[in-house]
Structure 1
């Protein structure tokens, strides 16, 4: 527990009395307050409205606890307050700053802040903390402005003079950038219902909020929309807007403080301008009446009209200018007619899925009813007339047989249940095979047991089939332009493929207390099982893969550009499944969606992002205590490395622990890298799905540990890539390391063939790009 003497000193300095301790044991022996939360009575399930809360959260759940506290505060903002005792890590510092908490104390690393029971019953100080610790105070809201959620929540909108001309879904609007407007951290701003209806936006379900608009009383939130906002200077950005029933005085759209935080906005009141950051670039947005806006346009036009024709440079002159720091670009310049008038505005498509893009529900249900047999549970192994899965053995191999492992009574009961069920379904049969794999068990997330067969001895003598599995990155790259999606999951897909009769005895396994059995269908654990299953799927859907179907083992994704196409694509897929006697599990299928989960990602018309469920797993991952757990963490993080800028440099302290025979030592650098990965994935961008008929831009750079690059299209990231330096590459000069980054970026598979525009952040490295690399 936190030292009581320090705790009382904090109360005295802040002039408060804490009434609730958020983290104690079930007995309350380490509670600092009369009321407290514990493992048996979780803080996340407690209502602390009206309390002054002392919060020392688990370090992997700081964000969850902070958000729960804010939800509770929403119902009683004037009487709810808290102090957060958290590590002084950069990502935690940003979280607390964003919530507008006050930093009231910082304890240096090594300070003994906590105590433990001593032998005589008295509490004694523990060893100092390995990192600095901050205390952040969130005081009660004097004005009743609430940042949380709740039926009585209110947000105040104060008007200010930064007005912009913007386009939302093809409709011209006036937008107000207001640092005094807040959206309870659930949106980026507001739009009036009248303007949303004029733009033809489809409203999503709203949060329970009321909004107080300056000089106009309260207005009810009736929905929310996610739209692409285009400023008249050409800058575009996606924004989630709350829809207000009443008009907003003086404007149609309000861009609130949340949007400004997201874009690192900087206000210049004198020039009536705002500078925002998107990706790696900064953009200056001039307000409607800004004199600087007119001056900038005039200067740009004059510069274009008065510019001299480009003169060619000799290689010698170019080298001399580059050595002096001149900027070099590699680009394809295509002639365009000079237009003095502004380009005609094209309607922007709102992020909310248009009704016309989805198959009408009545037509979808009729289609699924027509193929009802595809969703029935298979009653016996299907007979398709093919030879099925084979298990070819290495020359001279003899049947392996291992002793069965000792099982607990609970595991024996599970064996009996599983074997009885498999016999009833016709998937296994009694065996007299010389082969005998033992049974082992793994624990599921819910604590139940899963029976697994240990086929390692059989796999060791099996000839491996080198069948190529789909590249997940290339799968997603084929989704550009799709607007409606469906996914199908096969029922125990492996079990729907027969094993060749000659190889059935090789799958023999021992069920303690029941005898010996063998599989008639493909099962998990066999070395060539994924290759067999993927080849069957590819043969079934071959002509359609990449056109409107993606298949990765038993996960099938159907994608289309409109409702009419999607209905026909679904019909085609279901007909193929029926013809080949494959059954899908209806409860795991998802039809006719504007976005859905697929292979740990969320795909939509807007692009690709990390599945929220995977982010939650990463965020709640405990600090690894050994090499095995660290490798498991890095394995999951590496799967999403394309979303993280400079991933290799970020995880360098962690990967250093996995190499060679170095002793295990978890340092502050390791902790910072571990937390950095969590933050990076939590804030991962939505990646654009690449359109191969449009130009790409590659930005590359080098850091202390390695190189990194980002592939961009229309100023949106398509993918990030990075690589560590080898021992020899650490000795390169800065220019050579930058050049290496450029070459790596162009050679890595993240870079599609046919890209037409390349750029690097370190300009002299442009001279290093080889003929072979630029030819790509």
Structure 2
């Protein structure tokens, strides 16, 4: 295998997930699960899914052999293994560039694997401890330390550059990170040879893993997708969305690729849906068609998806598991009639086109594909295979039996004209992720990602942090035995006149309660036969949510928790977009559970305007992308006052998630940008502004002795002090209270002596008209209209 020694990889050593499977088979070892997932970050700042497992195989580099080398399992580029800085330091690696050699300078390096059983076992335990210890506990790549030697790369201005390029023998080159990333993407996009990964036993089915076969137009079959409209209505032509040059290039490429495959063709239908792009988590854009209007008038197909409890009960006792992922699943289904094809028409700058295959985004697409999978595998279903959409899980009691079972399933896929994606398949494993759970030979357990939000909750550092944690836990007190006794040290911290001092007793209670919330009987597995409740909330900097279901007694139990910091640009969204973003993030995180549910998912939000979002005629471009994403789910937004939405709200108040005055936080910087920097202004205008600034400074010096009217700032502040609702809200904020009978305190803030609501100054009723008149009547306003006046006041 190809390995890269990378001194910039400060988070440990890593192995590609696909190669880890091969190593485990060859070495007859099993991955070790980490105590908690570890976040990783690439050299370019891109993030990857958290690392949950590691392996410690025998490593041989030339004559150098070591028996136990811990490697974190993740997704790499063209390299199978990356040996990081810690490994290089441990072995005293010296690079001999003259002779192209790697020298291991440390004397302790093992040149032969230990043959003594006891010694090997001891070493194994040491490596397991090393994986969980602090040295490799946070495998997040950090930027390399700054070199102290003079650097040959220097930032220069335009004038020196122009002078230097004229010198004799000067050469000029241009490079950008975009070019580097594009080349890296090309390398990573190289198709994997199935033969190099597929176990030898299944090589007779290599055609089932062919990408070329998956890119061919499938024939018409009994499972073709048919669209039935509930009412005879005209769809009409949707307007074209404005697109950037990059997006137009992607549209053209998408059309050319799918025309060559035969998946689409030109359309003359009198109606069409618009096209938009959704940003991928790892970067790049994904082509989407906004079928919201078509989905709204389509009769719903309530074909059932597999029941998790039944599936997991069948896996009990299995010793070997294989997971198969179907490639381009929906595109392997044809549209039934020409009329069905016409309904999928989408409109672009390059013309109108319609799908001949099932596209993504149609409301009944999941039901059609699930029906085809069930009928394809009906003979083996509930015996040794189960299928959930494009994910197949095969389970057996012995390796010999499992080999036969996998062959039987692959034969069915071949007959059905379905191809698998070898990069997403797992063979002969003892544990895998399926339907949002970790299933394996030792039974099933919760996916660590679902409870990571709670387990990573940092210890409170203030009274407000403690109140937020207690407020979250109080919803689950009925499920936790001796809750009051355990929580007492934390409750004592919140008592009046009590000095805040975080003790060992507080820390112990904090850890016990966190574990209790993330374990049975509090946390339950998802049940598709019951209604799901998503409680989503958003603050200035964090999106969060709780997925819950009721038990047989009507008591609400959590299924999963979610919390994520916003990127700097998201911090500038309007409050209703932030609330909607929280819902989007929750749906992305819990897609395996809530996609395709027969009963509408009840989304509980404290922002009333979101109830009308899906039917709003005029959407921003961002909202249109979100609407396309949400159209795949069966859900209903239900308004619930903020004081009743405490669980999700508490998750937005975890210590460490908020900038808390840190001006170096990117989210804080994004809100404090200069709209027009000086270099964007004409020199004469800069000079005029400087003169005006000096005049204003002189006026400010004379202000104490000049008889001026009270400023608008002072008038608002004085009015707030007289307004009963304002005074009550300010008092509650100063007392660190969480609830108010009048409004959601999560949206309120006291800043510089003024009360703010949703990051805007709260104007009491008594002075609203007077303030409007004062601003409107200024000569500089030029008698603005209603719309402009509202914008001026908002600023």
TM-score (norm. length: structure 1): 0.39
| Bigger proportion of residues as strand | 1
| Bigger proportion of residues as helix | 2
